[in-house]
């Protein structure tokens, strides 16, 4: 029964110790979710982290620990803020056990082959038994404890039954060998998971340990978490920028590739914002801290990767449910093979019992349960290297099946910075620009601001109007040096009886200017298309994904951008609610839709899309509502995110199919009498798990 009080619920995260089975982790997560008072629980095996949402997670920890230990009796949970002890000692102890057990096993085989035990076979059996107990003592002990709890379908119990059964039918060397290679496989699997986890977190965790704080004329090193907003820190050439801030002194090049995926460095000087995680490449700079460590970009990226790893895709949930019935089915098949088949065929029991024991060896579904979340975890880690932050595995799964990509125009396809593109009229261009800039001098509209900026860049200082009247939705009427000046849309001029005599307007927003009742010229203001937009759209089109653009701008401006980039359809003059309606129409026509935007007005559409993606340079509301965030704000990240999602989903499916196919093939070989062998069964269990891990990890290195 879950708590009904969600208002006070908080989420706390715990590091997991002594859990080496992905299938056991899935069982523990389910049991903890059912504890009274727990609103939600998420266990990430790749991260070795448990997240518990409750009124007071720490108060529930005794009950959580007790529940978890019904599945794994040595498991422990440590608050994440506490540093875990190094795990090298455990690996060393495991390695020593394996070496001793293997030495006893090899000694028994070699001495037996030399005929040393011809007259005293009991010595060989004793050596093998010693090797078996050294290697499998822990497995037998855990299996015994689990039996007392009524837990029989776990890997320890199944491995114990399989190897003790081999002893019972006098296959002593094989029983010890299977236990040896099972333990070796488990160790390698554990190391591989830890290394892959470490590699991903190393890429995602760019948090600094220390910063160089400037105090008067001195520079002292302090812990990064002690740096406060307003502190001035020194960032030397080659150093990673530790915290988000603003340059107050110095000029340099900034390598943003670790955060945004953008390979080209950017110039930065006093007054420019810098984000943590980027690398200072050329000159020393002094930076004023704008965000503490917990709020800086490096922490947000790490938190995003960790949170994404906890959000499980549908295929993961399916595999977890499948694993619950897989082991009982295999055990049932083993029992039928051992006792029913020889009775029906009136054959010998020995070969069928041996075959049944091989089935028990590979009846643990760990390879299946581990391979899917690890594949998505690696995909999330790979995406973070390109500045693409997914908010969960389910997002990647949905993105892999996207049929259409719909984009906002301003700030997404275009730069979001208006600039004067053309000036034309009956007066000199400078005179036309001076009139327009004077009328727009106090304007807060982006178009007006761009006209004033352009004038000043050309050395024109606008005159202060004697009077200004803003005419809503149409433009401005001003008196400048005694003359009435109109600056605005064609409607403004027509309403004042002024005829426009000029060639057709160019793409963009056209501002018309009249002086003393006569048309004198026009200024065309347009937003530049992002450099990677056309390439991104071309990649989407090649992939068979439909493209469309939604904007509140004029139809002519929208069509110009669409033509320039190759976007199939442009829908213009839309309000935020209209965008959502249009998105639903596109979804009805094409199928699942991804929407990419950056503004506050895009938040409803981002939330309403199958997958919402926000540009990292956009509004916080848009980033919060999005499922994917593109830190570099580059349109080329859109097809890249889809490609990564498709590759990740494909690898997850490959792992599932491969693991099941090998296990089924080995079972068929055994049950048909073609080939039955415990060594092959060990490969079908731990060997397949290792291959699935390696298949997942290759996602980190895909171009």
Question: What is the rounded distance in angstroms from the CA atom of residue 645 to the CA atom of residue 2?
Answer: 34
CA 10 remoteness from chain centre: 23
pLDDT of residue 544: 93
Domains 228-291 and 415-528 share a fold: no
Give the integer Cα–Cα distance in Å for 656 and 367.
Answer: 8
The reply to whether CATH 3.40.1110.10 applies to domain 415-528 is: yes
Q: Do 324 and 71 contact (CB within 8 A), yes or no?
A: no
149 CB-contact burial (10 Å; exposed 0-12 / middle 13-18 / buried 19+): exposed
Helices (H) and strands (E) in the chain, counts: 24, 26
Distance of CA 658 to CAs 370, 378, 662, 691, Å? 13, 18, 6, 9
Residue 559: name the closest of 520, 529, 539 by CA.
529
- Token pair, residue 473, equals 């939705």
Q: Which pLDDT score is estimated for 414?
A: 86
Single out the residue of 629, 589, 582, 643 nearest to residue 608, CA to CA: 582
Question: Per-residue pLDDT tens for 192-216?
Answer: 666 666 665 665 566 787 899 998 8
Separation between Cα atoms, residue 469 and residue 487, nearest integer Å: 11
* CATH fit for domain 228-291, picks 3.40.50.300, 2.70.150.10, 1.10.3720.10, 3.40.50.20: 2.70.150.10
Please name which of 663, 654, 635 lies closest in space to residue 699, comparing C-alpha atoms: 654
Q: Which of 408, 527, 553, 685 is catalytic?
A: 408
User: pLDDT at position 87, please?
Assistant: 54
| Residue 78 φ/ψ, nearest 5 degrees | -120, 130
Q: What is the pLDDT of residue 305?
A: 65
Consecutive 10-residue averages of pLDDT for the chain (703 residues): 54 84 83 91 81 89 91 82 52 83 88 78 88 89 80 75 85 84 76 65 69 89 89 91 91 77 73 87 91 80 65 73 82 90 88 88 77 83 83 86 91 82 89 93 82 91 90 86 90 90 73 92 86 93 94 80 92 81 90 85 80 74 75 88 94 90 90 83 83 84 73
Annotation marks residue 408 as catalytic? yes
pLDDT at 2: 44
pLDDT of residue 6: 43
DSSP for 573-618? S--HHHHHHHHHHHHHHHSSEEEEE-SGGGHHHHHHSSEEEEETTS
Burial 677-702 (b: 16+ CB within 10 A, else e): bbebbbbbbbbbbbbbbebbbebbee
Rounded-to-10 torsion of CA 538, 540, 545, 547: -70
C-alpha 420: how far from its chain's center?
39
- pTM above threshold 0.95: no
Q: Which helix (H) or strand (E) holds 41?
A: strand 38-44
Cα radius of gyration rounded to whole Å, the chain: 34
pLDDT at 258: 65
Alpha-carbon span 478 to 466, nearest angstrom: 7
Of the CA atoms within 13 Å of residue 351, those in its CB half-sphere come to 14
Q: Where are the domains of the chain?
A: 10-79, 228-291, 415-528
Position 594 scores a pLDDT of 94
Q: What is the predicted pLDDT for the residue at 85?
A: 46
> pLDDT tens digits for 107-126?
888 888 888 777 778 888 89
| Domain 10-79, classified CATH 3.30.70.100, yes or no | yes
């Amino acid at each position: 029964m879950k708590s009904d009080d969600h208002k006070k619920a908080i989420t706390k995260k715990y590091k997991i110790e002594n859990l080496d089975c992905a299938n056991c982790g899935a069982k523990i997560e389910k049991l903890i979710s059912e504890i009274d008072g727990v609103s939600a629980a998420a266990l990430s095996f790749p991260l070795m982290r448990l997240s518990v949402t409750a009124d007071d997670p720490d108060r529930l920890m005794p009950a959580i620990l007790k529940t978890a230990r019904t599945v794994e009796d040595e498991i422990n949970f440590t608050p994440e803020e506490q540093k875990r002890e190094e795990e090298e000692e455990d690996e060393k102890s495991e390695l020593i056990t394996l070496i001793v057990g293997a030495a006893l096993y090899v000694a028994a085989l070699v001495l037996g082959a030399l005929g040393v035990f011809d007259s005293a076979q009991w010595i060989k059996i004793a050596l093998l038994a010693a090797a078996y107990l050294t290697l499998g003592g822990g497995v037998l002990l855990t299996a015994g404890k689990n039996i007392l709890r009524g837990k029989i379908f776990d890997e320890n119990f199944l491995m114990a039954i399989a190897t003790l059964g081999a002893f019972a039918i006098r296959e002593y060397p094989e029983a010890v060998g299977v236990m040896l290679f099972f333990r070796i496989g488990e160790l390698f699997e554990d190391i591989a998971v830890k290394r892959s986890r470490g590699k991903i977190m190393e890429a995602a965790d760019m948090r600094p340990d220390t910063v160089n704080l400037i105090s008067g004329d001195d520079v002292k090193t302090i812990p990064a978490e002690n740096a406060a907003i307003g502190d001035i820190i020194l960032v030397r050439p080659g150093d990673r920028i530790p915290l988000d801030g603003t340059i107050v002194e110095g000029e340099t090049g900034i390598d943003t590739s670790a955060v945004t995926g953008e390979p080209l460095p950017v110039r930065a000087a006093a007054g420019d914002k810098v984000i943590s995680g980027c690398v200072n490449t050329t000159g020393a700079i002094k930076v004023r801290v704008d965000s503490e460590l917990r709020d800086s970009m490096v922490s947000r990226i790490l938190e995003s990767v960790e949170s994404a790893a906890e959000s499980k895709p549908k295929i993961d949930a399916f595999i977890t449910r499948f694993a619950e019935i897989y082991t009982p089915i295999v055990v049932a098949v083993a029992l039928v093979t051992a006792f029913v088949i020889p009775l029906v065929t009136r054959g010998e029991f020995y070969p069928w019992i041996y075959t049944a024991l091989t089935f028990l060896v590979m009846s643990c579904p760990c390879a299946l349960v581990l391979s899917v979340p690890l594949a998505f975890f690696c995909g999330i880690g790979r995406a973070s290297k390109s500045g693409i932050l997914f908010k969960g595995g389910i997002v990647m799964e949905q993105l892999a099946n996207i049929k259409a990509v719909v984009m906002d125009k301003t700030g997404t396809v275009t730069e979001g910075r208006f600039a004067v593109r053309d000036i034309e009229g009956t007066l000199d261009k400078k005179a036309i620009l001076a009139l327009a800039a004077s009328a727009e001098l106090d304007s807060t509209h982006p178009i007006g601001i761009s006209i004033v900026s352009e004038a000043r860049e050309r050395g024109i200082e606008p005159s202060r109007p004697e009077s200004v009247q803003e005419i809503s939705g149409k433009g401005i009427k001003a008196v400048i040096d005694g003359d009435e000046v109109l600056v605005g849309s064609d409607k403004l001029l027509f309403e004042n009886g002024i005829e426009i005599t000029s060639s057709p307007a160019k793409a963009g927003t056209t501002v018309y200017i009249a002086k003393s009742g006569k048309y004198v010229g026009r200024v065309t203001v347009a937003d530049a298309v992002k450099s990677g937009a056309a390439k991104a759209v071309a990649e989407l089109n090649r992939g068979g994904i439909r493209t469309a653009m939604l904007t509140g701008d004029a139809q002519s401006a929208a069509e110009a951008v669409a033509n320039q980039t190759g976007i199939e359809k442009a829908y213009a003059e839309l309000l935020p609610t209209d965008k959502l309606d249009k998105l639903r129409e596109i979804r009805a026509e094409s199928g699942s839709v991804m929407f990419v935007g950056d503004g506050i007005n895009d938040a409803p559409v981002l939330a309403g899309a199958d997958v919402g993606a926000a540009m990292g340079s956009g509004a916080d509301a848009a980033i919060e509502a999005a499922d994917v965030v593109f830190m570099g704000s580059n349109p080329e990240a859109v097809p890249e995110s889809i490609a990564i999602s498709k590759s990740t989903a494909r690898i997850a499916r490959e792992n599932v199919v491969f693991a099941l196919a090998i296990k089924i093939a080995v079972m068929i070989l055994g049950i048909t009498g073609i080939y039955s062998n415990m060594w092959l069964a060990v490969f079908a269990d731990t060997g397949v798990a290792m291959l699935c891990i390696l298949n997942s990890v290759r996602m980190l290195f895909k171009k």
